[in-house]
């Protein structure tokens, strides 16, 4: 059952284009839900509308069956974690975490116990008497998390909480955030523009672009069955080709695709260099190497073909393998892995393949 319900949320900031344009979604009671999209697509606007810092131009938001628009931000029981940590520099770690409880006039004995619990959950117990300035970015963000959790909010909102951290720490802390969310069983909405982070952390992902929802689904849905060209290209990498470049070859790839299909797409990991035994629905496309990029655990070969440029991903490449520009290659992929899209970028069915 829906716990948080957003209906037709629309936001126009003084005369400009719509930052949110009819967004409707619902989030379950213990769900980890992620808003994913490029800069400016409206993620923060939606999050701050839920928190009560921004008033919607139209639409409404319900939490646990209750409309939020009449409830002021500080009474919404919503915890928020920000990109820039937003910790109080003059307070120790435990004072930071206790702050929201004191403001809510929680009895002192309860404050002590709850702060101790939150510190333990965020693995900050050993740092309780430190000032934030003497802590790393990752540790400071854990203070932000502990402070948001300790008030036992009905909903936890996180706006790009990891984007100021280095790559390795981001991965560690995202796993921790996910574990904590599941352990305390709280509904969470997480904002990121990092597609890998979204795939790793979420129960469901909402892909957004220019104030609108492109698709909502599990990480598997979004990655393997994207419903729009935008979702297909934003999550993971995608070869996108225009129809009409080599009609004869395209006829065998697209078979009886409808006339509305104007672009087709295939993921680099679904293309291989065509040697050996291949399944019956395999298409072979001749091409020449434009660029070879070695990335350690994989390599990318960009090839020029008569249907357009295709990037092939090779897993675990031999370190001795290199490919000169102009080197002839045969690319092989299965028809079943090809996706079709219309002029507007909506998914077009290619029928039974
Ligand atoms: N206070 C404001 N006044 C006018 N326009 C605004 C205001 N805040 C945001 N916008 C505009 O609304 C749109 C959505 O902004 P928003 O901050 O929600 O995007 P975002 O998805 O969070 O982007 P980012 O990933 O860069 O944080 C943008 O076009 C932005 O310029
Ligand atoms: Mg933002």
3-state SS, residue 126: helix
User: CB under 8 Å to 16, separation ≥6 — which residues?
Assistant: none
Average pLDDT over residues 211-221: 98
DSSP assignment, residue 117? Answer: H
Question: Confidence band (pLDDT; 50, 70, 90) for 353?
Answer: low
Q: Which atom of ligand 1 is nearest to the CA of 35?
A: 21
Distance from the CA of 48 to the center of ligand 2, in angstroms?
A: 10
79 Cβ below 6 A of ligand 1: no
- CA-nearest residue for atom 28, ligand 1, is 40
So what's the pLDDT on residue 14?
Answer: 86
- CA-nearest residue for atom 25, ligand 1, is 39
Q: Which atom of ligand 1 is nearest to the CA of 46?
A: 18
The number of C-alpha atoms within 13 Å of 165 and in the hemisphere containing its C-beta is 24
11 Cβ below 6 A of ligand 1: no
> Residue 42: nearest ligand to its CA?
1
Average pLDDT over residues 52-56: 95
Q: Is the pLDDT of residue 352 over 80?
A: no
Q: Bigger pLDDT: 140 or 16?
A: 140
Average pLDDT over residues 324-328: 95
Question: Residues of the chain with pLDDT > 90: what percent?
Answer: 86
Distance from the CA of 17 to the center of ligand 1, in angstroms?
A: 10
Distance from the CA of 159 to the center of ligand 1, in angstroms?
A: 13
- CA-nearest residue for atom 31, ligand 1, is 40
- CA-nearest residue for atom 17, ligand 1, is 44
Q: How far apart are CA 129 and CA 148, in angstroms?
A: 19
Question: Confidence band (pLDDT; 50, 70, 90) for 1?
Answer: low
Contact by Cβ (8 Å): 86, 73 = no
Average pLDDT over residues 244-259: 94
So what's the pLDDT on residue 78?
Answer: 95
3-state SS, residue 24: strand
Average pLDDT over residues 187-194: 96
**Candidate from 11, 12, 13, 37 with most ligand 1 atoms within 8 A of CB, to mutate:** 13
Q: Which atom of ligand 1 is nearest to the CA of 14?
A: 4
Contact by Cβ (8 Å): 174, 200 = yes
Question: pTM, whole model, 2 decimals?
Answer: 0.93
45 Cβ below 6 A of ligand 1: yes
So what's the pLDDT on residue 201?
Answer: 97
DSSP assignment, residue 228? Answer: B
So what's the pLDDT on residue 84?
Answer: 83
Which residues, in sequence order, are bridge partners of residue 58? 10
4-228 and 237-348 have identical folds: no
**Candidate from 10, 19, 46 with most ligand 1 atoms within 8 A of CB, to mutate:** 19
Per-residue CA distances from 45 to 13, 215, 234, 261, 279 (Å): 10, 18, 20, 34, 48
> How do the domains of the chain map onto residue ranges?
4-228, 237-348
Architecture, CATH, for domain 4-228: 3-Layer(aba) Sandwich (3.40)
Q: How far apart are CA 76 and CA 191, in angstroms?
A: 19
So what's the pLDDT on residue 16?
Answer: 78
- CA-nearest residue for atom 1, ligand 1, is 13
**Mean model confidence pLDDT for the chain:** 94
CATH topology of domain 237-348: OB fold (Dihydrolipoamide Acetyltransferase, E2P) (2.40.50)
Q: Is the pLDDT of residue 114 over 70?
A: yes
Q: How far apart are CA 33 and CA 31, in angstroms?
A: 6
Distance from the CA of 44 to the center of ligand 2, in angstroms?
A: 4
Q: Is the pLDDT of residue 351 over 90?
A: no
So what's the pLDDT on residue 280?
Answer: 86
Which residues, in sequence order, are bridge partners of residue 6? 25, 61
Q: 157 burial class (0-12, 13-18, 19+ CB within 10 angstroms)? A: buried
pLDDT 10s digits, 281-317: 899 999 999 999 999 999 999 999 999 999 999 999 9
For residue 296, the tally of other CB atoms under 10 A from its CB is 8
């Amino acid at each position: 059952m829906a716990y948080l319900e957003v209906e037709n949320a629309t936001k126009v900031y003084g005369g400009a284009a719509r930052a949110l344009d009819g967004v409707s979604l619902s989030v379950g009671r213990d769900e980890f839900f992620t808003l994913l999209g490029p800069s400016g697509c409206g993620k923060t606007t939606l999050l701050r509308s839920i928190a009560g810092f921004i008033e919607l131009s139209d639409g409404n938001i319900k939490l646990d069956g209750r409309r939020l628009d009449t409830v002021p931000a500080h009474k919404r029981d919503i915890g928020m974690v920000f990109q820039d940590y937003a910790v109080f520099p003059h307070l120790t770690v435990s004072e930071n975490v206790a702050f929201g409880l004191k403001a809510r006039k929680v009895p002192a004995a309860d404050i002590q116990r709850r702060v101790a619990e939150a510190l333990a959950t965020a693995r900050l117990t050993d740092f309780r008497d430190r000032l934030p300035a003497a802590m790393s970015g990752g540790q400071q963000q854990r203070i932000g998390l502990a402070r948001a959790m300790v008030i036992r909010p009905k909903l936890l909102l996180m706006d790009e909480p990891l984007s100021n951290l280095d790559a390795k720490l981001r991965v560690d802390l995202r796993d921790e955030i996910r574990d904590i969310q599941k352990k305390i069983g709280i509904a969470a909405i997480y904002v990121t523009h990092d597609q890998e982070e979204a795939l790793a952390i979420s129960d469901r992902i909402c892909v957004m672009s220019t104030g609108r929802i492109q698709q909502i689904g599990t990480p598997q849905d979004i990655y393997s069955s994207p419903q729009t060209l935008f979702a297909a290209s934003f999550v993971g990498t995608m070869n996108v080709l225009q129809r009409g470049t080599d009609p004869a070859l395209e006829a065998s790839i697209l078979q009886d695709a409808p006339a509305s299909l104007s672009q087709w797409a295939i993921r680099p990991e679904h293309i291989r260099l065509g040697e050996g035994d291949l399944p019956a629905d395999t298409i072979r496309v001749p091409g020449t190497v434009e660029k070879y990029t070695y990335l350690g655990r994989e390599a990318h070969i960009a090839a020029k073909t008569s249907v357009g440029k295709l990037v092939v991903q090779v897993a675990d490449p031999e370190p001795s393998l290199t490919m000169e520009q102009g080197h002839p290659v045969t690319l092989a992929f299965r028809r079943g892995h090809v996706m079709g899209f219309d002029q507007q970028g909506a998914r077009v069915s290619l029928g039974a393949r």
